[in-house]
């Protein structure tokens, strides 16, 4: 399982504004990812959370960019792409990955990457944070986004040098 060795992140996101951008395809998986992200943000004491639904995973980067440009301290991007019989899978996965990476680098706003790229429905369900799932990638993406904001505070002028 890919989650082996994952860090345990415990951070305080009090006062942060986090935008969760979530695709709409694969409703059951997406509902699990979104619920996991919301649980993690609540556990991190993030109370200013906006959820934006977009049609699919390919649309995540533009929504993340608008969120980052309009005051989000962090963005959590959630999507799922299931391999099919055409190259469409590769194009969507690459476009979303490169697009979200570009948003984070250009804006300096952390983007938690919660995009599942799976061979079949069973793999996606196993990572969706649902009852019986082995992993909760929505929660992991939210935790990573908040932890990165906290980590970057010491690198930015005028911010606290205290490490979390």
pLDDT of residue 17: 98
pLDDT band at 107 (very low <50, low <70, confident <90, very high): very high
Q: What is the mean pLDDT of residues 46-71?
A: 98
From 26, 45, 88, 134, active-site residue = 88
Q: What is the mean pLDDT of residues 90-118?
A: 97
Distance CA 106, CA 31 (A): 29
87 against 110, higher pLDDT: 110
Tell me if 32 sits within 8 A of 129, measured CB to CB. yes
pTM of the model: 0.91
126 against 85, higher pLDDT: 126
Domain of 129? 17-152
Instruction: Tell me if residue 88 is catalytic.
Output: yes
Q: What phi and psi values does residue 79 have, to the nearest 5 degrees?
A: -160, 170
Q: How far is CA 4 from the centre of its chain?
A: 19
**Per the domain annotation, does 9 fall within a domain?**
no
Number of domains in the chain: 1
SS3 82: strand
- Which among 21, 13, 26, 43 has a CA at the least distance from the CA of 114? 21
pLDDT band at 118 (very low <50, low <70, confident <90, very high): very high
**Per the domain annotation, does 161 fall within a domain?**
no
**Per the domain annotation, does 160 fall within a domain?**
no
pLDDT of residue 2: 58
**Per the domain annotation, does 1 fall within a domain?**
no
Mean pLDDT, the chain, whole residue set: 92
Q: Give the domain CATH number at 35.
A: 3.40.50.960
Tell me if 97 sits within 8 A of 105, measured CB to CB. no
**Per the domain annotation, does 98 fall within a domain?**
yes
**Per the domain annotation, does 26 fall within a domain?**
yes
pLDDT of residue 6: 66
């Amino acid at each position: 399982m890919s989650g082996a060795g994952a860090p345990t992140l415990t951070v305080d996101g009090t006062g942060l504004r986090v935008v969760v951008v979530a695709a709409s395809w694969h409703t059951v998986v997406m509902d699990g990812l979104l619920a996991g992200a919301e649980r993690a943000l609540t556990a991190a004491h993030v109370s200013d959370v906006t959820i934006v639904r977009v049609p699919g995973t390919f649309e995540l980067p533009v929504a993340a960019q608008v969120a980052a440009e309009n005051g989000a301290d962090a963005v959590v991007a959630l999507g799922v792409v299931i391999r099919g019989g055409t190259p469409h899978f590769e194009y969507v996965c690459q476009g979303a990955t490169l697009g979200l990476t570009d948003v984070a680098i250009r804006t300096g706003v952390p983007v938690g990457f919660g995009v599942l790229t799976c061979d079949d429905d069973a793999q996606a369900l196993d990572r969706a944070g649902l009852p019986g799932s082995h992993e909760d990638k929505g929660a992991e993406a939210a935790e990573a986004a908040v932890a990165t904001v906290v980590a970057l505070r010491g690198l930015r002028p005028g911010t606290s040098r205290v490490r979390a």
